[in-house]
Amino acid sequence: MLMDNPAHLPPMPAPAMPPESAALSIAAVERETGVAKDTLRVWEKRYGFPAPLRDAAGDRMYPMAQVLQLKLIRRLLDAGMRPGKVVGLDNDALQALLDPATPESATQPTPPQAGDAPQVPALLDAIAAHDPQALRHALLQAQWRRGLAHFVTEVVAPLTTAVGDAWAQGRFEIFEEHLYTEVITGVLRSAIATLAMPPASQGVLGPRVLLTTVQREPHGLGLLMLEALLALEGCTCISLGTQTPLGDIVQAAQAHRADVVALSFTNLQSGPVVLTQLHELRRQLPPERALWVGGACSALYQKPLPGITAVQGLSQLAPWVAQWRYDNAAR
């Protein structure tokens, strides 16, 4: 019989590329997960994950199942875990590490949970319902009731964490996370625009603060929360958005006569890389220009950084602004 002779069997077809909608390019994966392209290539070589397919042109294409794993990995890195402990683990193992009830994750910093703010579950429902008008209305109501400072710290911060968790766990799609980002960005920018600068008769105003992130730090919502709280303290904020080269940060600080350069860091880059960038930036900035840093990168808080102020938590902004006023009152 023909089927008894392997020589007559038809050749096995090559693995088919998934439909375009079921796989992302490396640039899209970087944009959607926050993991840099160079990091993805290093993990692929060192850990064997991710394991992208190749399109007809030989470019990497990442199936959505791997993108979901990368989302989970990103959340664990943000919580302080190291790539060698999590890259390559399957979804079940990653989810177990994200569960605060598991012993290993209990040693990691615990982000705010949805239950910490009673309004967060309802706001998550509005995002899931794909109703931007209802979401915007609910956020505006929360802002009016609580005031901008409490709105940022008690609603926006835990809600952003909850949205990130839902996205990383596959409960939200990318477009739902983008919907939230667009709506909350509009709400916060409108609130900031309505703030009146206090009169000079009240004493020394807050500093002029240049806000940005360094290259390969693509997340900007944290900067917007910082801008809102700093504006409430009487600061003049100049935001460059995200991923600004160090040389451009130095030039912008000089052009805008900034008193303070404020940077936000995640755990997407290794601690040594972050510290090297900070020391280089501090070297290039004049000594009278303060450098404030904050965010989820644990390396910022492990030991004092000469000439750099590490602001650990949004609640610490007001004391540092007050200290700046005190130090500059005689000028």
**Does 271 lie in the same domain as 233?**
yes
Which domain, by its residues, includes 61? 13-106
CA distance 114 to 122: 10
2 in any annotated domain: no
CATH number of the domain enclosing 279:
3.40.50.280
Residue with tokens 């993805």: 40
- pLDDT score of 246: 94
CA distance 271 to 294: 13
Contact between residue 290 and residue 260 where contact means Cβ atoms under 8 Å apart: yes
- Looking at the structure of the chain, the number of domains it has is 3
CATH number of the domain enclosing 142:
1.10.1240.10
CATH number of the domain enclosing 73:
1.10.1660.10
Contact between residue 123 and residue 139 where contact means Cβ atoms under 8 Å apart: yes
How many angstroms separate the Cα of 176 from the Cα of each of 29, 129, 163? 16, 9, 9
Per-residue pLDDT of the chain (331 residues; tens, 9 = 90+): 333 333 434 444 444 444 444 788 888 888 877 788 888 888 888 888 999 998 888 889 998 888 888 888 888 887 777 787 888 888 778 888 876 533 333 333 334 444 445 588 889 989 999 999 999 999 999 998 888 888 998 899 889 888 877 776 677 888 888 899 999 999 999 998 887 665 544 555 778 999 999 988 888 888 899 899 988 888 889 999 999 999 999 999 999 999 999 998 877 777 888 899 999 999 999 999 999 998 878 888 888 888 998 887 777 788 888 888 878 775 5
Q: Which run of H or E residues covers position 261?
A: strand 260-265
Tokens for 112, please give them. Answer: 């705010």
Contact between residue 295 and residue 279 where contact means Cβ atoms under 8 Å apart: no
**Does 214 lie in the same domain as 186?**
no
Note the pLDDT tens digit of each residue in 27-68. 888 887 778 888 888 888 888 899 999 888 888 999 888 888
Out of 142, 174, 193, pick the residue that ends a domain.
193
**Does 238 lie in the same domain as 124?**
no
pTM for this model (two decimals)? 0.65
- pLDDT score of 258: 93
Share of the chain above pLDDT 90, in %: 24
